[in-house]
Amino acid sequence: MTYTIFDLAKKNYQRKLWTNEMLQKLMIKGKLTANEYETIINSTYNK
């Protein structure tokens, strides 16, 4: 089974293995979109 970065990030965030800051770094690197980030953290992204 192949996981996308989104799936991996969501799973690890829910398990409290990854933080908001870690997800933001993925966004900066272009691995996550702002919409995906908001979906994972269940909140809006504020720059």
Give the model's pLDDT for residue 46. Answer: 65
Range of the domain at 33: 5-41
Residue 47 confidence (pLDDT): 61
Residue 33 lies in a domain: yes
14 within a domain of the structure (yes/no): yes
Q: CA-to-CA distance for 41 and 22, rounded, in angstroms? A: 12
| pLDDT digits 0-9 by tens, 1-47 | 788 999 999 999 999 999 999 999 999 999 999 999 999 998 766 66
Q: How many domains does the chain have?
A: 1
pTM for the predicted model, two decimal places: 0.82
Q: Are 20 and 45 in contact (CB under 8 A)?
A: no
**46 inside domain:** no
Check: CB of residue 1 under 8 Å from CB of residue 29. Answer: no
| Predicted pLDDT of residue 1 | 72
Q: Is residue 30 part of a domain?
A: yes
The predicted structure's pLDDT at residue 33: 96
pLDDT of residue 9: 97
Contact in structure between 32 and 5 (CB atoms under 8 Å): yes
- 34, part of any domain: yes
